[in-house]
Amino acid sequence: MKPSDFMKKHPYNSIFQNSECETIARNIMVILSDTGDSFRKIELFEYEERRLKDGNYSIKEKQLFNKVNEYCVSEEMAQKFSKNW
């Protein structure tokens, strides 16, 4: 599976049981899909840059990004993040 495959469903009931974390994870998958559609660890500056462009970035995302990012580096980790994925 590729990041674009994970964008088809929202990662409800994630390990954090937090909708904001789930939204951050989905945002990361969108970025990965748009930048080659392969898994890799993205840096905070890349995330912030992309989110600032869409006009919906909040500074609160920074803290949540750090919790979620490690679960978006591979298909296996994404599936650990949410069984819905």
Q: Model's pTM, two decimal places?
A: 0.93
| pLDDT, tens digit, 9 for 90 and up, residues 15-26 | 999 999 999 999
Cα–Cα separations (whole angstroms), residue 66 to 1, 5, 22, 43: 23, 23, 13, 9
| pLDDT, tens digit, 9 for 90 and up, residues 31-57 | 999 999 999 999 999 999 999 998 888
Domain ranges (residues) in the chain: 14-81
